[in-house]
Every structure is written in structure tokens, then in C-alpha cells.
A = this chain, B = another copy of it.
């Protein structure tokens, strides 16, 4: 059993190592330009070895997505465990998300890849894809739950279905991150007219914006009185 554990651990370690390497390469050159050959070479492994760990290129990239979403969910889950008004939870979830992407921009790429797979109907079957699905749903659930808490504790208006509100927040957040993380280029400078805004600033103001928008008027008044 001891031995079996060691083998299993070693195998898992190598699997993680491949994902590590793939993450680095994707960060450097993007998903499209990363080949299995290169991953193998950089990982110091034979090409075939990759296929012992991942059924194909798509699955390997989904594994990155899975790892990233699991990490993110761990952070988001901790937020939900806190006893705070829903509106504050939403704000914290947002800040956590942005902080996570800032620290691990590669996962933003991986999440986008995952969505492009769904969109292009090239999604593969398998355990990892399932995990990605579950993780995406879980992240969504955290948002919806925070909204429900807020609607219940009176900090968030109840005029919109929390699931719809969740989709809006989730989608908008991704869009803003996308904007914030567009690779530096002449283009970006033009759009931004030479002014750069940090992802934090963009996202912070976004949170303020929708926070005010969805805050319950009474809760808002109370808060203003406190100030």
C-alpha cells in the first residue's frame, strides 16, 4: 500500500508537472500556438508520455481549466463562509475573482478556451470536462447564493431573478477582465487613448457601479446614515 501510494503520487506529480509546463507555454504563446511536441519537450518527456496522462490536446487544456476553476472556487467558497451582508459578499467575490485572475492570468485564457469549446461544439466527453462543468456551475452558484443572501437580508433588491443577476455579473466580470487583460499593443493604447486603467481600478469601479444599482434603497439609506 505504501508502495502503491508512492507510485500513484509520482504519477500525479508528473501529471501536475505537465499541466505546469502547459500553463507556462500557454502564457508565453497562447493556446493556438502551443503544440503537444513543445509541451513534451519542455516537460522533458517523450511525446507519447503526454498521452498517458491526457487523452488529447483538448483534454490537457481542459485540465488547466479544471485546475484553475478548482483553485478559484476554493477562494470563492471561503467568501461564502463568512457571515456578511449579501451585497458585501458580492463585492468580495468580485475582488477575489479579479485578484485571482491578476495572479494567474493563464486561467483566464483557459476559461476562455473552455467556453470557445462549448461555443464551437467541439467539447469532448470525459471526466475532466465534467469537472470543468461542475466547477463553472459551482462558481455561478456562489454568486447566486450571495445574491439570495443579499435579497434575504435586505441588502440587495429583489426585482430581478438572482440567477439572471448572477449571469449578468458573471458575464460582465469576464468581459471587463477581458478588456483589462488585452495584451499590450498599439491597439489597446488607441482604444484607451493612451490612458491605462488597472484591472483593479476597472473592476473596483464596476463593483461600485452594479453594487449601487442592485443595492436595496433602504439598506443604502442606512449605510449613508452611518457615514
* Interface residue ranges, A against B (CB under 8 Å): 29-30, 32-33, 115, 118-123, 133-134, 136-137, 140, 160-161, 163-165, 167-168, 170-183, 185-188, 190-193, 195, 197, 201-202, 205-206, 208-214
Question: Looking at the complex, which one of B33, B121, B167, B197 makes contact with A179 (CB distance below 8 Å)?
Answer: B167
| CB–CB B176/A171 < 8 A | yes
Known: A123-B187, A213-B211. A206 touches B175 (CB 8 A): no
Rank and list the top 3 A-B pairs by shortest CB-CB distance, nearest first: A175-B175, A171-B179, A172-B172
| CB–CB B202/A167 < 8 A | yes
| CB–CB A121/B183 < 8 A | yes
| A212 contact set on B, CB distance < 8 A | 212-214
Give 14 pairs: A residue, B residue, CB < 8 Å, sorted on A. Answer: A118-B183, A119-B181, A119-B182, A123-B187, A136-B187, A140-B191, A140-B193, A164-B195, A164-B202, A167-B191, A168-B179, A172-B206, A209-B210, A213-B213
User: Is chain A's interface secondary structure helix, strand, loop, or mixed overall?
Assistant: helix
Question: Looking at the complex, which one of B163, B168, B190, B206 makes contact with A193 (CB distance below 8 Å)?
Answer: B163
| CB–CB B120/A33 < 8 A | yes
Known: A164-B201, A178-B174, A208-B213. A187 touches B118 (CB 8 A): yes
| CB–CB A167/B210 < 8 A | no
| A197 contact set on B, CB distance < 8 A | 161, 163-164, 167
Known: A133-B190, A210-B209, A210-B210. A171 touches B180 (CB 8 A): yes
Known: A183-B119, A202-B171. A136 touches B176 (CB 8 A): no
> Distance (Å) between the CB of A87 and the closest chain B CB?
12
Q: Write the chain B residue with the least CB distance to A168.
A: B206
| A209 contact set on B, CB distance < 8 A | 165, 168, 209-210, 213-214
A214 to B207, CA, bound (A): 11
A197 to B167, CA, bound (A): 9
Q: Write the chain B residue with the least CB distance to A210.
A: B209
Q: Of A137, A171, A190, A201, which is in contact with the most chain B CB atoms at under 10 Å from its CB?
A: A171
| A175 contact set on B, CB distance < 8 A | 171-176, 178
| A181 contact set on B, CB distance < 8 A | 119
